[in-house]
Amino acid sequence: MSNPMSETHLQTGRPMRADALRNRQKLVAAAQETFATDGTSAPLEDVAERAGVGIGTLYRHFPTRQALLEAVYVGEIEAMAHAAEELEDAAAGEALASWFRQYLSFAATKRALTEALLEEDADENVLAACRALLSDAGTGLIERAQAEGAVRPDVTFMDVARIVSGIAVSPSADHDQKERMLQIVLDGLRATA
């Protein structure tokens, strides 16, 4: 599914050659990996090297660090929205649990990217569009689970997103503990008879 946000904001306004589009995609994927492992202030040369392109190619696609951060951020948000769409055929409670497990991994990266974007005076329109896209995806899953009686009726997406985000950035918790804490949250969401 195509997203108008990425087409209007991230593309140059003219059709890209296939090789240029591949390079752009490789750069965004490499930036995502680099920022996840080395932080959002990692040298852009490292991103270009990981993508297998020269630094000039990186700067042709992303003239500033902010432009690259925005591309990674938008890509992460779009991936979460797409993940929600892919769960449409799953049972509502299972779909919600699966999506929030993915959200747990995403939330730590999202926070670092958001902080970096805010330091770089990010485009508020991009951030607002991303918030809306993510909120729509999560709200749809919550409401479907509520309609099927799998989730208590007094819960909103933002309630759960804030809790899961807190778990994701907990500095002293390891992966297994974060998974256990998420399961406690998911158990607490269940509708009671």
Residue 113 sits in a domain whose CATH number is 1.10.357.10
Task: Tell me the residue length of the chain.
Answer: 193
pLDDT tens digit sequence for 54-107: 999 999 999 999 899 999 999 999 999 999 999 999 999 999 999 999 999 888
Q: Tell me the pTM.
A: 0.80
Residue span of the structural domain in which 104 resides: 4-189
Question: Could you give the dihedral angle defined by the CA atoms of residues 179, 171, 155 and 185, in that order, rounded to the nearest 10 degrees?
Answer: 30
Structural domains counted in the chain: 1
Q: In this structure, what DSSP letter does residue 2 have?
A: -
Is residue 153 a contact partner of residue 138, using CB atoms and an 8 Å limit? no
Tokens coding 137? 């995806």
